[in-house]
């Protein structure tokens, strides 16, 4: 039996919504460097400020948050950032 296209799209959209997380979770977490663009071994809301999808260090915009992902079962979270200056991409994992 073939699924109607609108049902398939609905199921996929629910899957992708469940695999992201809110900015408030980003601000509460402690994030460890996982590779790529480097802004420190760890980052959190004490050392940096998060406004919309931008990370500020010493009130200077440093990187854009381009993705916030968590595993399907919610056990691991990852933030993908992109340098405003160079365009280099990096990843930070929840500690």
pLDDT of 19 over the 70 cut: no
If you average pLDDT over residues 15-34, what whole number do you get? 67
> What pLDDT score does 61 carry?
94
Contact, 48 vs 56, CB < 8 A? yes
Pairing of the two strands 49-51 and 54-57: antiparallel
Percent of the chain with pLDDT strictly greater than 90: 27
Domain boundaries, the chain: 5-94
Residues 39-85: tens digit of each pLDDT? 988 877 777 888 888 999 889 999 999 988 876 555 678 889 999 99
Length of the chain: 95
């Amino acid at each position: 039996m073939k699924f109607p296209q609108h049902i398939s799209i609905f199921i996929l959209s629910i899957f992708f919504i469940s695999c992201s997380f809110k900015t408030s979770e980003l601000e509460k977490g402690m994030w460890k460097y996982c590779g790529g663009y480097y802004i420190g071994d760890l980052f959190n809301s004490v050392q940096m400020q998060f406004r919309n999808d931008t990370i500020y260090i010493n009130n200077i915009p440093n990187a854009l948050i381009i993705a916030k992902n968590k595993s399907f079962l919610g056990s691991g979270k990852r933030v993908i950032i992109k340098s405003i200056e160079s365009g280099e991409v990096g990843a930070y994992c929840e500690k």
